């Protein structure tokens, strides 16, 4: 259970977002999803517009400093925030599909111009 102890809010007009510093108390380190839900409920905004930047604590304490941003719109958030990286498994699947497609093209009898083979033939 997360208990909100202190909340500081700053309106950043240039970035079209609100910046929050929260001090919360919890038994274990709260996950980003839990913090996102907490901030979304406090601000009455969609969870999609909340970006949790940091969850910090000092060893042995049950208080956590959270830094998060709440954007006005999805478009503004997409302009400013970095895109999330693909997971390794998804990337491997995509590479495998591409190599399968290349192998299918080669096996269909289409000519493939490899520069390595050309140099040896001449």
Strand stretches in the chain, DSSP E = 3-12, 17-25, 50-57, 63-71
- Residue matched to tokens 């709440």: 70
What would the two tokens of residue 79 be?
Answer: 């302009």
- Alpha carbon dihedral 15, 53, 68, 27, in 10-degree steps, equals 180
pLDDT in tens, 28-53: 999 999 999 999 998 888 989 999 99
Most confident of 1-10, 61-70, 103-112: 61-70
- Domain 3-80 matching CATH 3.30.70.330: the answer reads yes
pLDDT in tens, 89-122: 666 676 767 777 676 666 655 555 555 555 555 4
CB-count exposure of residue 52 (10 Å: 0-12, 13-18, 19+): buried
Q: Does this model's pTM top 0.85? A: no
Calpha distance 99→95 (Å, rounded): 6
């Amino acid at each position: 259970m997360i208990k909100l102890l202190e909340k500081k809010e700053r309106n950043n007009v240039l970035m079209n977002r609100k910046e929050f510093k929260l001090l919360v108390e919890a038994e274990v380190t709260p996950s980003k999803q839990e913090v996102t839900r907490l901030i979304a409920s406090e601000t009455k905004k969609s969870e999609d517009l909340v970006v949790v930047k940091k969850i910090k604590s000092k060893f042995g304490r049950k208080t956590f400093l959270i830094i998060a941003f709440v954007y006005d719109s999805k478009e503004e958030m997409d302009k400013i925030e970095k895109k999330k990286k693909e997971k390794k498994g998804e990337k491997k699947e995509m590479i495998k599909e591409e190599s399968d497609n290349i192998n299918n093209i080669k096996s269909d009898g289409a000519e493939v111009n490899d520069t390595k083979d050309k140099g040896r033939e001449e």
